[in-house]
Amino acid sequence: MKKNLIIFLLIVALFLPTIILAATDLNQTLLNIRKAVWDIFVVLVIICFIVAGIMFLMSQGDPEKMKTAKKALLAAVIGTAVGILAYSAMSIIKTIIGN
């Protein structure tokens, strides 16, 4: 848990100054943060699919390992769908409300 927190804080420390300094107003800052989060999300999705693929390859027909690999693949697909919907939520809400 502490390791994940340290990694998260390191990522924030690396990206936050660039995000804030590159912006001229609050709207631009929020858009920069949204883009940075999206970039991190895309990298994580790619890593999840690679790990699931490696799990399939390493299972060598073992039913228990195949079951674990299928769960990992399903989690990656669901996570990708949720991430895409979350990223699109602002645009969907603006369309419904009518700017």
Closest Cα to residue 40, out of 8, 18, 17, 72? Answer: 8
List phi, psi (to 5°) of 98: 95, 40
Q: What is the secondary structure of 20-79 as a DSSP string?
A: HHT-SSHHHHHHHHHHHHHHHHHHHHHHHHHHHHHHHHHHTT-HHHHHHHHHHHHHHHHH
| CA distance linking residue 90 with residue 7, whole number of Å | 28
Considering the chain, what is the average pLDDT of its residues? 83
The mean pLDDT of 63-89, rounded to a whole number, is 92
Question: pLDDT: is 62 or 24 the higher one?
Answer: 62
Q: Please count the residues of the chain.
A: 99
Q: Are the CB atoms for 1 and 50 separated by under 8 Å? A: no
Q: What is the pLDDT of residues 81-96, one digit of tens each?
A: 999 998 888 778 878 8
**Average pLDDT over every residue of 31-42:** 85
Instruction: State the angle between helix axes of 2-21 and 26-59 in degrees (0 to 180), rounded to the nearest 10.
Output: 140
In this prediction, residue 22 carries a pLDDT of 61
pTM for the whole thing? 0.67
Residue ranges covered by each domain of the chain: 2-97
